[in-house]
Every structure is written in structure tokens, then in C-alpha cells.
Amino acid sequence: MEIRNYKDLEIAQTPHGINAYKLYDKDHALIMHLHLEAGESLKPHITPVDVAFYVLEGSPTITIEDEKVHVQKDDIIESPKDIVHCIYNETEEDVRVLVMKLPKPIAKNYNGVTNLAHG
């Protein structure tokens, strides 16, 4: 049995400049733990695989294509592949989100950035 706590992991290098941790990194799936402090956000980007965001803490705003919605703890949000998406923390509270990519992407996104390490 393998047990990991994000607090024990090194911060993953991402182009977004936020604290991100690889909780699960296998050939068939990638699960990242994102921690966005007040005012932080991901850069809008596209992934070549479907993505699901599960809100662990806080109330982020999530954009998928042209739709921008304020979500809350315990919401799960789906983003289809090849659609621009982004997470914003427009609050004064911390936001923590699990980002699940199935299957694990190996291609580059449309911005030329490898999708292995970011949401």
C-alpha cells in the first residue's frame, strides 16, 4: 500500500506559478493537488484529455470555454479535452483543488507547454 500526503511532497514545477503537488502519477492517470492562495489562478490552457476538478477547500471560480462559474467545496467540475479551462481564486481564502487527468496526457497543449505537471 502506498500512502501520500501532499504536505510531504515537493512542489511540482508548473507554468502557473502556484503550489501544485503530484499525488498520483502513473502511465494511465495523473492526479494533482493544487493550492491557490488569495488572488492566484492558473493560466488559461487546453489539455488533450478530459479533466475533472474536485474542490477540497474554498470557493474558486472555474472557466470552461466561455462559461465562468463560482463553485464550492465538494463540487466536481468536468472539462472536456481540447477546451480551454482555468481556475481562479478570487476570494481571500485559500483554495485547494484535486485535478484528475484520465488518461495521463503525454502531448503538448496548444500553448506548447507539456501537460504533465499542471491543471
Reported as a single tens digit per residue, the pLDDT across 12-57 is: 988 899 999 999 999 889 999 999 999 999 999 999 999 999 999 9
* 1 in any annotated domain: no
Please give the Cα distance from 108 to 68 (Å, whole number).
24
Q: Which helix (H) or strand (E) holds 97?
A: strand 95-101
Count of domains observed in the chain: 1
Please give the Cα distance from 28 to 15 (Å, whole number).
22
* 98 in any annotated domain: yes
* 64 in any annotated domain: yes
Q: Indicate which CATH number applies to the domain containing 92.
A: 2.60.120.10
* 53 in any annotated domain: yes
Residue 8, C-beta contacts closer than 8 angstroms, at least 6 positions apart: none
Q: Which domain holds residue 32?
A: 6-117
- pLDDT-derived band at 108, boundaries 50, 70, 90: low
Cell of 105: 496526457
